[in-house]
């Protein structure tokens, strides 16, 4: 099963980066391959977490697929978990962590593993997905610079 993980030091606060990743409706504006995103349900829970159920459509050349995920926004612990519900994958797991490092910097952790249900779709999309996910975390950092102002150049602290 393909996996991608990274940890990047960024010159934005953990709260700013959490808010940016949590704003899933804006993903079509800057996330690689994301053509559209539609919120189906948004629930605020008493423990400070939010649950979003959303449909995301990814597109590359002639291939277009939509999948449904449940996104748990755990603001008190600065974590975001994505659970796969329906679509072209047999498995999809995605986690984000935001660890404050100073008043202005944080480490953003990103983990993704996935497996397509269809061998044909895996062959068509697999290589392209791998390339896109290599740029995925960097796209959020670039977006943060655009939204919050450029904090400076920060490179990866760990990649896997």
Q: For position 157, what pLDDT does the model report?
A: 40
**Tens-place pLDDT, residues 28-56:** 999 988 999 999 999 999 999 999 999 99
**Any domain includes 140:** yes
Decide which of 5 and 60 is more confident.
5
- Average of per-residue pLDDT across 154-160: 40
d(CA 98, CA 6): 12
Considering the chain, what is the average pLDDT of its residues? 86
- Looking at residue 42, which CATH number applies to its domain? 3.30.530.20
Instruction: Say if residue 14's pLDDT is above 90.
Output: yes
Asked whether residue 61 is assigned to any structural domain, the reply reads yes
Q: In a 10 Å sphere around its CB, with 0-12 CB exposed, 13-18 middle and 19+ buried, how is residue 66 labelled?
A: middle
For the whole model, what pTM was predicted? 0.84
Domain residues for the domain of 69 are 8-154
Q: Do the domain assignments include residue 33? A: yes
Q: What angle, 0 to 180 degrees and rounded to 10, lies between the N-to-C axes of helices 14-22 and 119-148?
A: 130
First to last CA, the chain: 14
Q: Tens digits of per-residue pLDDT, 55-96?
A: 999 887 777 889 999 999 999 999 999 999 998 888 889 999
- The structural domain count of the chain equals 1
Q: Is residue 159 part of a domain?
A: no
Inside any domain, residue 106: yes
pLDDT at position 6, please? 85
* Domain annotation covers residue 85: yes
Quick count: other Cβ atoms within 10 Å of Cβ 158?
11
Report yes or no on 160 lying in a domain.
Answer: no
């Amino acid at each position: 099963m393909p996996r991608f993980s990274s940890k990047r030091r960024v010159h934005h606060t953990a709260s700013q980066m959490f808010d940016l990743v949590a704003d899933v409706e804006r993903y079509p504006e800057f996330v690689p391959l994301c053509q559209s995103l539609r919120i189906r349900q948004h629930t605020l829970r008493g423990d400070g977490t939010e649950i979003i159920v959303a449909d995301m459509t990814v597109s590359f050349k002639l291939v277009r697929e939509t999948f449904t995920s449940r996104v748990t926004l755990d603001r008190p612990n600065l974590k975001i978990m994505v659970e796969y519900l329906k679509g072209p994958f047999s498995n999809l797991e995605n986690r984000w962590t935001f660890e404050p490092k100073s008043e202005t910097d944080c480490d953003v952790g990103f983990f993704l593993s996935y497996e397509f249900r269809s061998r044909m779709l895996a062959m068509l999309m697999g290589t392209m997905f791998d390339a896109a996910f290599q740029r995925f975390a960097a796209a959020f950092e670039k977006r943060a610079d655009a939204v919050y102002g450029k904090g400076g150049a920060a490179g990866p602290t760990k990649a896997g």
